[in-house]
Structure 1
Amino acid sequence: MPRIKTVHSKVTKSPRRPFEKERLDQELKLIGEFGLKNKREVWRVKYTLAKVRKAARELLTLEEKDPKRLFEGNALLRRLVRIGVLPEDRMKLDYILGLRVEDFLERRLQTQVFKLGLAKSIHHARVLIRHSHIR
């Protein structure tokens, strides 16, 4: 019986240059600071940020009063505010271009557990979440 192929959307994008020293150092710093498991988690966040910034750049090319820019721009801004990446006082498309990878990584449950002091270290926070002590 033949298998049915399922279509999955892309979640990550591997870097073009695999051995770029600055990028490797930056990724290693992010992994240590936020307690990530591997570099694929960094790439996933970078890919998400790139998609959001690309959408904002496309909307910024349209005119101010364009209905598409107003509708899709407000939807994008509300989504970013809802997930906690963008503060409510910065609800403009220009501020989306200033977002960093760290803004997305700050919103992870593991980081929040550590920042609230519920775990002794960032790695301890990951263990608590994986063992279902914190949901």
Structure 2
Amino acid sequence: MKNDNSTKSPNLAKRVLVAGLSFVEWISKETAPRTPSLWAQKYPEYSPYLCETILGDGLQLVYLGTINNRPYHWLIRIDSKTNVSDDEFNFEDILQPIEEECGSCEGVDECESCQENEEECEYPNNISWGGGHWGMIVNFGTGEVGS
């Protein structure tokens, strides 16, 4: 699954720089190939998947990672007014569009399509939620950069 909705950014995002980068440059940086590691184990190189669905004005780039799919993560553009750190934030608002595009598994050992076809469940296909984390990477509506 490859996509490129980085050029679907509003005019504001094309003119504004946050931490010296345009919105398109942020997306390019965040989707660049990388070799992750987890607990000193190296994993195959991958490029973080950018969800084609854009929520709201799409001026905020956020990530979503799951326990079952560590160390990989997905990216999605959401409304700049959304506070993903707020206790009232519903992570399912970003999980659902990713699941709709990439598919989902109920658990690491329970996905029938994974058992039938190993390649089908390779990242970014079939996200498996067993808990996880999410956060802001950059918000072009507020000028903030995540930590």
TM-score by length of 2: 0.25
User: Larger radius of gyration, structure 1 or 2?
Assistant: 1
Task: Flag the structure with higher helix content.
Answer: 1
Larger relative contact order (CA 8 Å, sep ≥ 6): 2
Task: Flag the structure with higher strand content.
Answer: 2
TM-score by length of 1: 0.26
